Structure 1
């Protein structure tokens, strides 16, 4: 993965964690809303930049669930 992609994934993970906490969701609850199953470990990996990448449609689902627009400048 290119350096810029790693930076985007890191920022996305930070953003997900911030918005999840802001909405008062647990990692398990967020996983249920995004994936339809309890996969807390995968949410943890996203938040801690331990995944290779996420496809665009999954990122869009996160944003919809978190009622957010991705603004990398704010991170």
Structure 2
């Protein structure tokens, strides 16, 4: 047996799965953005909005990739 392993960092794996499951990622980002803008105050508002925008950007990458693959087929 071979003992070869590929070490991929966790953020890269999260980005790949976020792009694959982009509808779920987009919904999480939209809900996070809503909660961050309307319900939170102070530093937590900024943290929540930044994280939500990262989710939305990741979903955008998934949408772009799915459209690109659809146009090439």
Could you tell me the TM-score, scaled by structure 2's length? 0.32
Could you tell me the TM-score, scaled by structure 1's length? 0.31
Structure holding more helix per residue: 2
Pick the structure with greater CA Rg: 2
